[in-house]
A and B are shown apart, each in its own frame.
Chain A
Amino acid sequence: MSGDTRRSERFVARESRELRKELLISPWPELGLVAFDGPNDPEPELAVEEGRIVRIDGRGVDEFDVIDHFLARHGIDLDAAAGATGLDDAEIARRLVDVDVPRAELVQLSRGLTPARLARIVALLDPVELMFALKKLRARRRPANQAHVTNLKENPALLAADAAEAAARGFAEVETTVGVARYAPLNALAVLVGSQTGRPGVLTQCAVEERRNLQLAIQGLVTYAETLSVYGTEPVFVDGDDTPWSKALLASAYASRGVKVRFTSGGGSEALMAHAEGKSMLYLEARCLATIRAAGSQGVQNGSISCVALVLSVPGGTREILAENVLAAWLDLEVASGNDAIASHSEIRKTAKLMGQFLPGTDFVTSGYSSIPRLDNTFGGGNYDADDLDEWLTIQRDWQVDAGIEPVAEAELVRVRARAARAVQAVFVAYGFPAVTDAEIEAATYAHDSRDLPDRDRAADVAAGDRVLAERISGLDVARALDDAGFDDVADAVLGMQRQRVAADYLQTSAIIGPDGAVEAAVNDPNEYLGPGTGYRLEGERWTRLRALPHELDPRALAGEVEGGAPFLAEGRSAEPGASPTEVVVAVGPAFGDDLRATINGLRHDDVAAAIVAGIREAGAGVRLVRVRRTSDVAFIGHDGALLAGSGVAIGLQSKGTAVIHRADLQPLDNLELFGMAPLLTLDSYRAIGRNAAGYALGHPVGPVPTELDNFARAKLIVTTTLLHARETAAIVPGAPAVEVALA
């Protein structure tokens, strides 16, 4: 019986991995815990009588829920529907990935399809097809990204500094929120000032209750909103205290005040709220997206936002989320594609999911990259955060893909952060708000997170926040205060955002604003990808900028960095075969002790040579040093040496430290012992190598020198290895015979 209960240590080890903190479940379709093909997903259907829609997806008018009614009135273009009737699902799916079918044609087709049909068609695409479709269907030509900026202490200097850094890093939008609702005006103000210090034109929002949000917009302190949530069943919609009509009216209300609006939806929310009606996540999301388009939203943040981990618990979850993004783009909506809430404990799994949006590029690759450390993220998000930035930038560089974040040098960011914190300090002074101290500015500039920020008088801060609303302190007032304090460029940028509100150009689909105030939207800068060489490609100046990471090194400089001792080998005449049967030859590479002076492990060549010689001698053999000049390959260096050795045994030694014990009767690529792990070899190792070589020469029994294994050595040192080997190879004298060398 013990065989039944004994655990495999490998299973036990895997259970302790981060991945296993989350649950995977088999589908339970009745609860909506199924990615595709729910038991109650209806057959696609659209019936029209006298120009009115009378049936949608299995329901007649009398059975319509509030969503069906809304779609029947606003969601389906009957001309487009007529155009789609002759096409089967597979044909439309093929067109989605047909490089010769333009986006505009596909978008027109989508306008005539019901939710069930939309879901069914995208479900026909495999992951790579979905990615390709997403690349084709993105509304704006160039992908961008959004940042989340918050902190646990709601410190205004830190908010401003972080918003400035996010802006300087190229985020097109910065979203903040509050821990305590009354902070909203101050947080909105700090993020406005900070973002415009970092880069003019960044859109900002403060996610709070709608009435407060609208008021902040009216005062010109925020410019966009994405708090308008939509759900795929009537009970959940109503539980969310809205209907499609109320949400659409709210969207119009925001637009009437010059606020860019995107809605929010995403798979799993209906199941979480216990009213999925036995329908699949993808079908319900199709209903959401059709509703959002019908409401006249320019865009959506979707791809399972806060419920991402629930969708990932069921089979096909990652594919379903990508299908959601594709549907949204197909419906001509700006897409901010999730990746903000934590998707998994596993870094591998999280990033595998990310690639679905990262590689094709979406209008906003994340609907909030936590540009702050995770512990300061009060959205409950932080899927990727400030500490992950180098990884994100490196992956952009690896794939040559623009995922919306730019590398910026430390000194520049320190400057920008300090300036933003001082700018917000000036505004606080102007309005008599609780002072932002110089100590706060310094901490906001340099600290890792809010734990290093001094505590503020929170009661006084929220009172100041109340004053912003009561006294209607506006974007204009902020600009005036900045101007009076000498921040005229920041004042001008804040004023620039007020000008944008007057022109309202950013109400169009996928609009973002460049540092010069130019609006880039799907109207004037559409994605017109039609195959290789078209559409947005990361190249030219932008590629140069994104690939030049601050910690990138110049390999020419790196190759010269290997330091060692003075030259110590005196070269003599050509080496001849030795006569002594106890003689071991130590054959060094062309650059050893000359152009190169130390091994990859930082050991000086003179010390290494001395250790080997000492090892050979203490084991009772004689030693002769030669330099092989015709090759830099360790096997041939060793074999050439063996052919010269009286004993037939030699040690071959490359300048980077790789060593081999060779014997004359072996094939050159064979050997007695090979020591490939040069980074791990110590002087004791080289001494032991010398002893072993002597043992082979003298015919003694020899146990191999113990070697260590470091599987990361290659990843860590392969560049250095390449550079060292290049220099050794450069020192080759073709066809030259080996020469005797002596320790100086």
Chain B
Amino acid sequence: MEFDPTRDYPLGAQRPELVTTPSGVRLSDITLDALRAGLLDADDIRATAETIRRQAAVALAAGRRPLAENLERAAELAIVPADTVLEIYTALRPDRATAEELEAWARRLENDFDAPRTAAFVREAKDVYERRGLLVKDERRHASI
């Protein structure tokens, strides 16, 4: 049955068969018995990009467009290593990156992680930061190097 974002929330209760971990462990198989049998891996206990996309669809169906867009970005970031995500966050803080560096992050998001929405978001920030003087000032960068 097709996923219906207007009816299938909560996914865990309504459509458990659609919910798995990244390695394919089903929600109903995350049990104490499975834990005892050593069948569960901590790094695998997380939402998949697909699950987060479905949550985005639920949010959109409920009329919450910005929340849906946030969750779409989250779905893209789900496969990006945490350290990389935090590097992107740091680059977006005020006076941290040059326009070129932000553009490089945007390209990397597109090319390495298939994350066009997040890439567009970073480019948007670059554009605004240029107008507002929130990019790193070159002289200061040189001074700190």
Contact = CB atoms under 8 A, between A and B. Distances in A.
A253 B9 contact: no
A521 to B, nearest CB: 8
A214 B66 contact: no
A108 B32 contact: no
B136 interface: no
B78 A256 contact: yes
A498 interface: yes
A258 B55 CA distance: 11
Interface in B125-145: 125, 128-129, 131-132, 134
A518 B10 CA distance: 8
Contact of A253 (B10, B66, B89, B134): B89
22 contacts: A66-B132, A241-B93, A243-B94, A243-B125, A245-B125, A246-B92, A246-B125, A249-B122, A254-B74, A256-B77, A295-B70, A495-B32, A495-B35, A501-B46, A502-B30, A503-B12, A503-B16, A505-B55, A519-B12, A523-B59, A523-B62, A524-B9
A495 B121 CA distance: 35
A61 to B, nearest CB: 9
A76 to B, nearest CB: 10
Contacts of A108: 63
Contacts of A479: 32, 35
Given A69-B128, A257-B78, A523-B9, 12 more contacts: A77-B65, A214-B82, A243-B92, A253-B77, A296-B66, A332-B64, A483-B35, A501-B45, A502-B19, A505-B13, A517-B13, A523-B59
Nearest to B40: A476
Interface string A214-253: 1100111000000000000010001001110110111111
Contacts of B70: 248, 251-252, 255, 295-297
B134 A502 contact: no
B104 interface: no
A211 B86 contact: yes
Interface residues of A, number: 74
Contacts of A256: 52, 73-78, 80, 85
Interface string A464-486: 00000000101111011001000
A249 B9 contact: no
Contacts of A495: 30-32, 35
Contacts of B73: 248-249, 252, 255-256, 296
A472 B42 contact: yes
B121 A480 contact: no
A254 B71 CA distance: 10
B4 interface: no
B6 to A, nearest CB: 9
B89 A210 contact: yes
Interface of B: 9-13, 16, 19-21, 27, 30-32, 35-36, 40-42, 45-47, 51-52, 55, 58-59, 62-71, 73-78, 80, 82, 85-86, 88-89, 92-94, 118, 121-122, 124-125, 128-129, 131-132, 134
Contacts of A503: 10-12, 16, 19, 27, 47, 51
B92 A258 contact: no
Nearest to B26: A502
A113 to B, nearest CB: 15
A298 to B, nearest CB: 6
A190 interface: no
A582 interface: no
B55 A476 contact: no
B32 A246 contact: no
A477 B42 CA distance: 8
A313 interface: no
A218 to B, nearest CB: 6
A491 interface: yes
Contacts of A218: 46, 82
A64 B67 CA distance: 24
